[in-house]
Chain A
Amino acid sequence: MANVSNVTRLRETPAHTAVEVSNLNHVYEGREGKVAALEDISLTIEAGRFVVIVGPSGCGKTSLLMMLAGLRRQTSGTILCAGRPIVDPDPERVGVVFQEASLFPWLSALDNVEFPMALRKAPKDERRRRADEMLNLVGLQGFGGRYPHELSGGMKQRVSIARGLVQDPPVLLMDEPFAALDEQTRMTMGHELLRIWSQTNKTVVFITHSLTEAVYLADEVLVMSARPGRIIDRIPITLPRPRNYEMMASDVFGRLRDRIWQQIRTTP
């Protein structure tokens, strides 16, 4: 009995790997010739982990995320999500939250959250129920009727998160989601994201330029080199959870942040 279950466990191992990238390369063919953006990226992200990617500007973080989302095709290499290759956007496997307000200004917050389900022609009441649930999750109960221009920057990003989660994808990709927010809102949002994450058991891939944000949020920080982007370090963040603001003042926090900074600074 124990043996049997062991065997099944072993065969199911890929299911515990949320995202697997192998030997991924990407070359842009621009006007000034070819630009190697990503070089030989291989990484495995376990299910339920919070992974943060940092790296110098222009190193290919957004490009990598677009490929994980199926929005752009890599030049070579494979990306597996839930054991199957990503070739096209699949909102049931991967949800995406972008930096800028990518909400549709002509739709209310609720309709924005419903949008992915509406594309799939889900029944109206199911859509409504699910969208309401998501707005509650992100702390926006009662704001569903507002249009994006009636929401603050932080609230807009909450709606974006709700929209990314509405189809319950196991993986959530976030490209500098809080970069446009002020410092205070940003801290609050980071903390809120951790709460949402712990309530939903998603795998999160999060891109940021803020080292503090990286250490505060991550289970693991991946550091990329300048272009062509490669993964040059993989730093486990050992801080206990739940995280709190006091940890930012701790020695461990400072050392981790310094280590990441050293890596980025010395990248060729």
Chain B
Amino acid sequence: MKRPSPRAVRWMLIAAILVVWEALPRLGLVAELLLPPLSKTLVALVNAWPEYMSALFVTLYEVILAMLIACGAGILVGALVGGITLLRNVFLPVFSSLYAVPIVILYPVFTAWFGIGSESKVAFAGAYGFFPVMLSTAAGIRTIDEQLLLAARSMGATVPQQITRVIIPASIPTVLTGLRLGGALTIIGVVVAEMLTSAAGIGYLVTSYRTILDSPHVFAGVLMILILSVLFDTAARAIERRTLVWQTAGRRERASSKEDKATLAMPAPA
């Protein structure tokens, strides 16, 4: 028997989860208040569609602004901290420890400073997503193979050329990973912030429906955020793959060892 591809298994798993989601409450194994069936959730979503759309619009707007802040500031600070030894020695340990702090504890401070509107969400989620972007940018620059810089210098590269033609392309893979992580964190940051204190957005809808024990509407919001996060991650991965065609060695390990054998079979140069 042929084994199914990982892709097929993945889709089967998702289908299974959806079926279980429908079946558990229907069969009375789980109370509908705790888990409403998928169908009821979808009905709730469709019935309150305009409400969810305007909430999604607010959330998206906050997420995009927060991502711009996290990525812009993260790359800028990361490049400085990674590239300049003095800054690195002073700040890198500080930033690394800050990354471990649950910044959500500071959210009340953000609302005090920025109010309960979108600004506090954007600022909070921006700060939340900033750390992985900044840390991986710094790591990407710091871990550049010295040999590559030496080679570039031997070919007469000026310092600006070393930056644009070696340091930047060499650190792109790590930076992109940071952007994907940071982007995911800004989504989390925005939703958490909306759930804590706010008057708009999907997170707000979820909390307010929860307080009136309207489970289908709660899960409709959960479903939207789920889809939003998965879409973001898929898009981010697609961008990474397209940018890093040259770096597929890891993923294509087996393919390339096959190729090696092919090269051996061919009268190819050593």
Q: Which one of A38-46, A102-110, A125-133, A253-261 is at the B interface? A: A102-110
Are the CB atoms of B147 and A147 closer together than 8 Å? no
Q: Which residues of B contact A192 (CB under 8 A)?
A: 269-270
Closest A residue, CB atoms, query B151 = A102
Residue B161, interface by CB 8 Å: yes
Report the bound CA distance from A98 to B150 in whole Å.
9
Q: Give 1 or 0 for each of B240-255: 1 = CB within 8 Å of chain A CB.
A: 0000011111000000
Report the bound CA distance from A100 to B146 in whole Å.
11
Q: Which residues of A contact B259 (CB under 8 A)?
A: 150
Are the CB atoms of B246 and A147 closer together than 8 Å? yes
Q: Give 1 or 0 for each of A76-105: 1 = CB within 8 Å of chain B CB.
A: 000000000000111100101010101111
What is the predominant secondary structure among interface residues of chain B facing chain A? helix
Q: Which residues of A contact B96 (CB under 8 A)?
A: none
Closest B residue, CB atoms, query A182 = B270
Residue A194, interface by CB 8 Å: no
Q: Give chain B nearest CB distance to A42 CB in angstroms.
A: 24
Report the bound CA distance from A100 to B148 in whole Å.
10
Q: Which residues of B contact A139 (CB under 8 A)?
A: 269
Closest B residue, CB atoms, query A188 = B270
Report the bound CA distance from A154 to B245 in whole Å.
22
Q: Give 1 or 0 for each of B134-172: 1 = CB within 8 Å of chain A CB.
A: 000000000000011011111111100100011001101
Interface residues of B in 207-250 (CB under 8 A from A): 245-249
Report the bound CA distance from A88 to B270 in whole Å.
33
Are the CB atoms of A69 and B154 closer together than 8 Å? yes
What is the predominant secondary structure among interface residues of chain A facing chain B? loop
Q: Which residues of A contact B157 (CB under 8 A)?
A: 119
Are the CB atoms of B246 and A105 closer together than 8 Å? yes
Residue B39, interface by CB 8 Å: no
Residue A23, interface by CB 8 Å: no
Determine which of B152, B247, B269 lies in contact with A105 in the assembled complex, contact meaning CB atoms within 8 Å. Answer: B247
- With A104-B148, A105-B247, A119-B165 as given contacts, are A71 and B153 in contact (CB-CB < 8 Å)? yes
7 contacts between A and B (CB under 8 A): A69-B154, A100-B147, A104-B151, A107-B246, A154-B269, A185-B270, A188-B270
Could you list 15 further interchain pairs (A-B, Cβ under 8 angstroms) beyond the known A119-B155, A185-B270?
A: A71-B150, A91-B155, A96-B154, A98-B151, A100-B147, A104-B148, A106-B246, A106-B247, A108-B246, A115-B165, A118-B165, A119-B161, A147-B245, A152-B268, A154-B270
